[in-house]
Amino acid sequence: MFKQKTIEEVKSASRKSSSGTTSNAFYNNPRIRGFFYQIALVAGLLYFFGTIIGNTLANMEATGIKTGFDFLGAAAGYDVLMSLISFESTDTYGRIFVVGFLNTLLVSAIGIFFATLLGFIFGVAHFSHNWLIRKIALVYVEIFRNVPLLLQVFFWYFAVLSSLPGARQSLSLGEAVFLNVRGLYLPKLIGGDLSSLVWIALGAAVAGIFVLRRWAKKRQELTGQQFPVLKTSIAMVILFPLIVAALTGFPFTVEYPALKGFNYFGGITVIPELMSLAIALSVYTGAFIAEAVRAGVQSIPHGQTEAARSIGLRENKIMSLIIVPQAMRVIVPLLNSEYQSLVKNSTLAAAVGYPDLFNVFVGTALNQTGQAIETIFMTIIVYFVVNMVISFLMNRFNSAVALVSR
Amino acid sequence: MKEFQPIAARPAPIKTVGFTAWLRDNLFSSIPNSVVTLSVIALLAYYLPLIFDWAFWSANFTGTTEDACVKEGACWVFINAWSYQFFYGTYPVEEVWRINLTLVLLVMVIAASFTLPKSIRLKASITSWLLLPIVGIAILDGRWLGLEVVSTDLWGGFTLNVFMAAASIIVAFPFSFLWALGRRSEMPFIRSVSVIFIEFFRGVPVLSLFFMGSVMLPLFFAEGTNVDKLIRVWLVLIFFMSGYMAEVFRGGFQAVPSGQYEAADSIGLSYWQKILLIILPQVIKVSMPNILATFVMLFKNTTFLLIIGIPEVVQTLQTALSNSYWLGGHALEGYLFVFLVFWGSCFSMSVLARRIERQMNTDKRD
């Protein structure tokens, strides 16, 4: 009988023959070697971090920097440009953290919404039958993907928005929406006593859509009959709240922005800092998403389109029923990373002074308290958590669109 | 059961080749398409002349001061007057040959790594790449070469963006390679340390890394050591870059067929011989497009240095815009110029990346 040699024995034997030395020594055993390497790495890391921590403590003592999180309870003493919750300069650093966090979420949400919209429009436009549309999509992607985001933020802020007319010559849309150098002014809906019923109706309509979709899918699987889900959904979302509003006698008043003195008051004000950052983030990330959508659609073999045509589907049905569902498998993971980098890039708010978390906390709070380590790490952790949530949601979404192999 | 009724055959197309057929297929294939085409053409016909008029016809090209801008259109005199600062920052004029020399060296090393004879190409180009940052710093700073010392406060402009990006990716290269190996390693501790490192530097906003470099890093050094701000930022960029590049390399390692590893094992190569002689050249080849894409990202991100007050090109532009002799509102001209400079460099790199990718694809088809 031949004795089966293990790979290790073969290896060491071949080495013996080539170098002529005995190689069964313990230091040639990969397991022992690996163990040794890892011990060395641990020791190195311990030494590295030990030195850093020692140096940091010594430095902080020498310069008199305080440590710990006591500063979160202290009065901040500065105001922020914009906040979604009430804030005064007597409020604490802890509250400023929340204000900044909400502002970050706001600009990220706006950015993600419009970037997705732009990305899908221009991504699909790449496959348009119209030569001009295709070229416009190409030009959009190639221009905005290849220019630094910071430059784009500045471009919108300094070159576009600050060349808008002043308050008295505002650009207006139906005397309800105003745009001038100080920002965008939108009308605001103020709810009365029974307004919550309308919101409940809207919520019910949205929940109803999910039920409807599930029912329609089941019906289609059983009988092959299709149900106009999209039209019914749109009708539900509009009609439900409208009927309830009519029954309760329209419990809303609309507050229009109005020119008083040198500026507009009332309504919702979108400050130019937020606008320039949101526009730049949407346009920049939109270009990347358009590329992702293009890659996704191109990954679908042309045979799929031909097969769909040969069974008589119309062009728009081919896109929505055959191509996009398959392309989503490629697009969603890419969207995930684009959304995450959008959230990270929203820190560029510091460049134009939009009070996002990074700007109010790592910018101002750090300057005032000098507690670099605490502020930077608190901020970093927030960005990690937000990105983890995005990643979790997108992975859930991904498993919903992933190819189910039977 | 209905009887199968084939739909009537479509009439033969009138014309399928030639200019008019192209027009009909691509611009006027249906009524909505024609409407879109005509409205796009109308928009272009309205705006393009305005833009051309502003940028060329009634623009001001000659002169040295604000007063030279008498015509309606763009004031390119502003760009002209500040072009030195945009490219070289506040580097002394009589020493500027040092920046140009470093740029030439950079171009030469890039050219050499594509054109040298194959027998020495790998060794020569790797050595020269790794030496380049040190030589570059020696030339620019000058104290080791006995030249006049130019402090890093004076470095700036677009060349600083280029040098920061290039120096970071060169030093990050070997590190990222090690991190990628660590992430693939079978040793649990080495693997988890690599994963934590890579994910930390990929997951954190790059701006917070710059703040760490400028505010936190000084606390880490022993008391009394004063490390130059530019070097601290360079360190941060190296770490940042090696996190991203490690992922690029990991993709490259996965693209190398396992037969290559087994073949190297079977002819008795040691681990490092296998990795450096067999695997690495293939990894670099497959990852080349992604390396370029990562470099473009890093290059674009060097503009963020403005936020911690390093006078790269955008910062220089803002200084120029707020100069009291140039308060005529040249923001549009200035941003457009920097826009075009970055667009030109990034676009050509992404075109290059796409071309390399296409070349590799044809390789595989054979």
Question: Hey, is the C-beta of B19 within 8 angstroms of any chain A C-beta?
Answer: no
Q: Kindly identify which residue of chain A lies nearest to residue B271, measuring between CA atoms.
A: A30
Which residue from A349, A180, A361 is spatially nearest to A276, judged by alpha carbons? Answer: A349
Domain for residue A56, yes or no?
yes
* Spatial distance between the Cα atoms of A54 and B223, rounded to a whole number of angstroms: 10
Give mean pLDDT, residues B195-203. Answer: 90
Q: pLDDT category, B318, cuts 50, 70, 90? A: confident
- Report yes or no: B132 and B140 within 8 Å, Cβ to Cβ: no
- Determine the distance in angstroms separating the CA of A50 from the nearest CA of chain B, rounded to an integer: 10
Summarize pLDDT for A23-40 with one digit per residue, the tens: 567 777 778 888 888 899
Q: Using a CB-CB distance cutoff of 8 angstroms, which residues of chain B are in contact with residue A345? A: 205
Q: Kindly identify which residue of chain A lies nearest to residue B192, measuring between CA atoms.
A: A38
Give mean pLDDT, residues B63-68. Answer: 77
Answer yes or no: do B335 and A154 touch at CB < 8 A: yes
Domain for residue A126, yes or no?
yes
* Spatial distance between the Cα atoms of A9 and A298, rounded to a whole number of angstroms: 49
Summarize pLDDT for A352-363 with one digit per residue, the tens: 889 889 888 888
Q: Using a CB-CB distance cutoff of 8 angstroms, which residues of chain B are in contact with residue A387? A: 203
Going from the C-alpha of B168 to that of each of A148, B101, B140, B172, the distances in angstroms are 18, 19, 16, 6
Summarize pLDDT for A245-268 with one digit per residue, the tens: 888 877 777 778 877 777 777 778
Per-chain mean pLDDT for chain A: 83
Per-chain mean pLDDT for chain B: 86
Question: Domain of A235?
Answer: 190-250
Q: Using a CB-CB distance cutoff of 8 angstroms, which residues of chain B are in contact with residue A143? A: 343
* Spatial distance between the Cα atoms of B317 and B314, rounded to a whole number of angstroms: 5
Q: Kindly identify which residue of chain B lies nearest to residue A358, measuring between CA atoms.
A: B208
Q: Are residues A198 and A336 in the same domain?
A: no
* Spatial distance between the Cα atoms of A241 and A204, rounded to a whole number of angstroms: 9
Answer yes or no: do A350 and B207 touch at CB < 8 A: yes
Residue type, A79: D
Domain boundaries, chain B: 76-91+161-365, 95-149
User: For residue B283, is pLDDT > 80?
Assistant: yes
Provide the whole-model pTM: 0.85
User: For residue A278, is pLDDT > 90?
Assistant: yes
Q: Using a CB-CB distance cutoff of 8 angstroms, which residues of chain B are in contact with residue A14? A: 268
A166 CB-contact burial (10 Å; exposed 0-12 / middle 13-18 / buried 19+) = exposed
Domain for residue A297, yes or no?
yes
Q: Using a CB-CB distance cutoff of 8 angstroms, which residues of chain A are in contact with residue B189? A: 38, 41-42
Q: Using a CB-CB distance cutoff of 8 angstroms, which residues of chain B are in contact with residue A149? A: 300
- Report yes or no: B132 and B109 within 8 Å, Cβ to Cβ: yes
- Determine the distance in angstroms separating the CA of B197 from the nearest CA of chain A, rounded to an integer: 12
At residue A259, the 3 state secondary structure works out as strand
Q: Using a CB-CB distance cutoff of 8 angstroms, which residues of chain B are in contact with residue A147? A: 300, 339, 342-343, 346
Structure-model confidence comparison of residues A89 and B237, the more confident one: B237
Question: Hey, is the C-beta of B307 within 8 angstroms of any chain A C-beta?
Answer: yes
Question: Hey, is the C-beta of B199 within 8 angstroms of any chain A C-beta?
Answer: no
* Spatial distance between the Cα atoms of B203 and B197, rounded to a whole number of angstroms: 10
Summarize pLDDT for A120-139 with one digit per residue, the tens: 999 988 888 888 889 999 99
- Determine the distance in angstroms separating the CA of A148 from the nearest CA of chain B, rounded to an integer: 5
> Which domain-ending residue is among A180, A215, A250?
A250
At residue B240, the pLDDT reads 92
Q: Are residues A320 and A391 in the same domain?
A: yes
Q: Are residues A244 and A281 in the same domain?
A: no
At residue B176, the pLDDT reads 92
At residue B211, the pLDDT reads 87
Give mean pLDDT, residues B77-86. Answer: 87
B328 CB-contact burial (10 Å; exposed 0-12 / middle 13-18 / buried 19+) = middle
Q: Are residues A120 and A49 in the same domain?
A: no
Q: What is the 3-state secondary structure (H, E, C) of chain B?
A: CCCCCCCCCCCCCCCCCCHHHHHHHHCCCCHHHHHHHHHHHHHHHHHHHHHHHHHHHCCECCCCCHHHCCCCCCEHHHHHHHHHHHHHCCCCHHHCHHHHHHHHHHHHHHHHHHHCCHHHHHHHHHHHHHHHHHHHHHHHHCCCCCCCCCCHHHCCEHHHHHHHHHHHHHHHHHHHHHHHHHHHCCCHHHHHHHHHHHHHHHHCCHHHHHHHHHHHHHHHCCCCCCCCHHHHHHHHHHHHHHHHHHHHHHHHHHHCCHHHHHHHHHCCCCHHHHHHHHHHHHHHHHHHHHHHHHHHHHHHHHHHHHHHCCCEHHHHHHHHHCCCCCCCCCHHHHHHHHHHHHHHHHHHHHHHHHHHHHHHHHHHHC
Query: Count of CB contacts below 8 A, A vs B?
Result: 147
At residue A274, the pLDDT reads 92
* Spatial distance between the Cα atoms of B341 and B350, rounded to a whole number of angstroms: 14
Interface list for B 332-361 with A (CB within 8 A): 332, 335-336, 338-339, 342-343, 346-347, 350
Q: Are residues A296 and A376 in the same domain?
A: yes
Q: pLDDT category, B33, cuts 50, 70, 90? A: confident
Interface list for B 223-262 with A (CB within 8 A): 223
Range with the largest mean pLDDT of A43-52, A109-118, B148-157, B192-201:
A109-118
At residue B239, the pLDDT reads 93
Please report, rounded to a whole number, the percentage of residues in chain B having pLDDT higher than 70: 98
Residue A376 is nearest to which of B187, B211, B265, comparing CB atoms? B211
Q: Are residues A279 and A386 in the same domain?
A: yes
Answer yes or no: do A133 and B36 touch at CB < 8 A: yes
Question: Hey, is the C-beta of B277 within 8 angstroms of any chain A C-beta?
Answer: no
Answer yes or no: do B207 and A159 touch at CB < 8 A: no
User: For residue A89, is pLDDT > 90?
Assistant: no
Q: Are residues A198 and A244 in the same domain?
A: yes
Q: Are residues A139 and A278 in the same domain?
A: yes
Instruction: Tell me the two tokens of residue A143.
Output: 């221009």
Give mean pLDDT, residues B171-195. Answer: 90
At residue A5, the pLDDT reads 55
Lowest-pLDDT range of B35-49, B199-213, B324-338? B324-338
Domain count, chain A: 3
Q: pLDDT category, A317, cuts 50, 70, 90? A: confident
At residue A20, the pLDDT reads 46
| CB atoms closer than 10 angstroms to residue B54 | 15
Give mean pLDDT, residues B322-335. Answer: 81
Q: Are residues A335 and A223 in the same domain?
A: no
Answer yes or no: do B216 and A376 touch at CB < 8 A: yes
Residue whose entry in the numeric block shows the structure tokens 């949101």: A278
Summarize pLDDT for A373-396 with one digit per residue, the tens: 888 888 999 999 999 999 999 988
User: For residue A329, is pLDDT > 80?
Assistant: yes
Question: Hey, is the C-beta of B45 within 8 angstroms of any chain A C-beta?
Answer: no
Q: Kindly identify which residue of chain A lies nearest to residue B223, measuring between CA atoms.
A: A59
Q: Are residues A143 and A202 in the same domain?
A: no
- Determine the distance in angstroms separating the CA of A263 from the nearest CA of chain B, rounded to an integer: 23
Please report, rounded to a whole number, the percentage of residues in chain A having pLDDT higher than 90: 25
- Report yes or no: A289 and A330 within 8 Å, Cβ to Cβ: no
- Determine the distance in angstroms separating the CA of A203 from the nearest CA of chain B, rounded to an integer: 35
* Spatial distance between the Cα atoms of A174 and A85, rounded to a whole number of angstroms: 30
User: For residue A148, is pLDDT > 90?
Assistant: yes
Q: Kindly identify which residue of chain B lies nearest to residue A12, measuring between CA atoms.
A: B268
Q: Are residues A291 and A389 in the same domain?
A: yes
DSSP type of residue A25: S
Summarize pLDDT for B102-132 with one digit per residue, the tens: 999 999 988 888 788 878 877 888 888 889 9
* Spatial distance between the Cα atoms of A338 and A332, rounded to a whole number of angstroms: 10
User: For residue A1, is pLDDT > 50?
Assistant: no
- The domain covering B76-91+161-365 belongs, at the CATH homologous superfamily level, to MetI-like (1.10.3720.10)
User: For residue B346, is pLDDT > 90?
Assistant: yes
Residue B314 is nearest to which of A11, A145, A151, comparing CB atoms? A151
Determine the length of chain A: 406
Question: Hey, is the C-beta of B101 within 8 angstroms of any chain A C-beta?
Answer: no
User: For residue A271, is pLDDT > 60?
Assistant: yes
Instruction: Tell me the two tokens of residue B305.
Output: 């240095």
A85 CB-contact burial (10 Å; exposed 0-12 / middle 13-18 / buried 19+) = exposed
Structure-model confidence comparison of residues A311 and A198, the more confident one: A311
Query: What CATH number has the domain bearing residue A356?
Result: 1.10.3720.10
Q: pLDDT category, B366, cuts 50, 70, 90? A: very low
Q: Using a CB-CB distance cutoff of 8 angstroms, which residues of chain A are in contact with residue B25? A: 129
- Determine the distance in angstroms separating the CA of A345 from the nearest CA of chain B, rounded to an integer: 7
At residue A108, the pLDDT reads 94
Answer yes or no: do B205 and A62 touch at CB < 8 A: no
Strands (E), A237-302: 252-255, 258-260, 263-265, 268-270
DSSP type of residue A300: S
Q: pLDDT category, B364, cuts 50, 70, 90? A: very low
Question: Hey, is the C-beta of B126 within 8 angstroms of any chain A C-beta?
Answer: no
Residue A151 is nearest to which of B186, B188, B338, comparing CB atoms? B338
Structure-model confidence comparison of residues A405 and B82, the more confident one: B82
Answer yes or no: do B212 and A376 touch at CB < 8 A: yes
Answer yes or no: do A132 and B207 touch at CB < 8 A: no
At residue A288, the pLDDT reads 94
| CB atoms closer than 10 angstroms to residue A91 | 20
Identify the H or E element spanning A377. helix A372-401
At residue A403, the pLDDT reads 67
Question: Hey, is the C-beta of B219 within 8 angstroms of any chain A C-beta?
Answer: yes
